Amino acid sequence: MMTNKTLLLSYLLLLGFSFCSCGQGKETWTEKQLMAPAALAKNINDGNSHTYIFSIGPGALIKNSIDIGPAQDKANLDKLKIQLTKLPKDADIVIYCGCCPFAHCPNIRPAFSLIRKMKFANVKLLNLSTNLRTDWIAKGYPVVK
């Protein structure tokens, strides 16, 4: 028989696992849809103005990016949708947040899902495996001055 202490411990473990999975789920992007930071930095440094870069996190620090704001907020997701309606479906789009790794990010999935729902063909997710500071700024890639 389970004691009250064991039952409480089991309940707390179950509760903890349910909190850990909040906001997470099966990734909606493929490996091919990830863009390496070095590739985007080269694109910016080469002056490719045909790529639309959207910051869907707390700040637009990457040079030439359009500040949408955290996509977990409906108002910001609506703002992204308005920006996207101005673009052709074959536009080159890159989105990034950079607040934390994808597994914990509350902004990536809503924005990526919206873009997929709107049927854009050339969408990339900037692969910031740690965060914007580590994977972009510390490497000397182009930032807003």
pLDDT digits 0-9 by tens, 43-81: 999 987 789 999 999 989 999 999 999 999 999 999 999
CA dist list (Å): 64 to 53, 70, 82, 89, 110: 7, 18, 18, 20, 22
pLDDT digits 0-9 by tens, 89-136: 999 999 999 999 888 899 999 999 999 999 999 999 999 999 999 999
Domains in the chain (CATH in brackets) are 28-139 (3.40.250.10)
Name the residue type at position 135: D
Rounded to an integer, what is the distance from CA 37 to the centroid of its chain?
13
- pTM over 0.85? The answer is no
CA dist list (Å): 7 to 1, 10, 78, 134: 10, 5, 45, 42
Q: How far apart are CA 111 and CA 133, in angstroms?
A: 21
114 close to 77: Cβ distance less than 8 angstroms = yes
In the block, which residue shows the tokens 């101005």?
Answer: 86
